[in-house]
């Protein structure tokens, strides 16, 4: 729509009854052809989907660090539980199995300061398991 002028239109005047509509009211035009739905738009190019998947595959460095810290804390907690069991006189099989499962988990080795600490924790866990005749990874 194009605006031709900025002048105001003439004032409106009322004629006839107040607020009364002329004619019938609501009606359906039977003669008009119904419009069909537009065809579906083509799916976005596969390259954009590939880009999203590639972006999701990139691991956040902080996520890897948090994952390694959780693993180290889980190993230390299990070692503490084994120590408490030793003080009570009997170590449960469940705790030893849990420790073996934690050691068996693969981990990333690209965190320079944290890798040394995790190696020390793993070594301590392997020593405790060896005391009970269990040798993970062999």
Q: Identify whether the C-beta of residue 118 lies closer than 8 Å to the C-beta of residue 105.
A: no
Compute the distance between CA of residue 76 and CA of residue 91 in angstroms, rounded to an integer: 16
Q: Identify whether the C-beta of residue 104 lies closer than 8 Å to the C-beta of residue 136.
A: yes
Residues 40-55: b if buried by 16+ CB within 10 A, e if exposed: eeeeeeeeeeeeeeee
- Collapsed DSSP state (helix, strand, coil) of residue 98: helix
- Would you list the domain boundaries of the chain? 60-131
Position 98 pLDDT exceeds 80 = yes
Which tokens in the block code for residue 3?
């605006």
Task: Classify residue 35 as exposed, middle or buried by CB count within 10 Å of its CB (0-12, 13-18, 19+).
Answer: exposed
Residues 19-78: tens digit of each pLDDT: 555 656 666 666 555 566 556 665 555 677 777 777 777 767 788 889 999 999 999 999
What pLDDT shows up at residue 137?
76
Compute the distance between CA of residue 75 and CA of residue 102 in angstroms, rounded to an integer: 7
What pLDDT shows up at residue 60?
74
CA 83, chain centre distance (Å): 37
User: 102: pLDDT confidence band, cut at 50, 70 and 90?
Assistant: very high
DSSP state of 133: T
Report helix angle 93-104 to 61-88, nearest 10: 160
Position 12 pLDDT exceeds 70 = no
């Amino acid at each position: 729509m194009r605006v031709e002028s900025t002048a105001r239109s003439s004032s409106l005047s009322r004629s006839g009854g107040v607020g009364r509509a002329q004619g019938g009211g609501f009606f359906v035009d039977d003669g008009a052809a119904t419009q069909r739905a537009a065809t579906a738009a083509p799916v976005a190019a596969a390259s954009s989907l590939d880009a999203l998947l590639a972006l999701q595959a990139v691991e956040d460095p902080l996520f890897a660090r948090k994952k390694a810290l959780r693993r180290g804390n889980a190993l230390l907690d299990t070692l503490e539980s084994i120590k408490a069991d030793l003080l009570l006189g009997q170590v449960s099989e469940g705790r030893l199995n849990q420790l073996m499962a934690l050691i068996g988990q693969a981990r990333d080795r690209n965190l320079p300061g944290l890798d040394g600490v995790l190696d020390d924790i793993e070594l301590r866990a392997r020593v405790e398991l060896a005391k009970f005749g269990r040798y993970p990874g062999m």
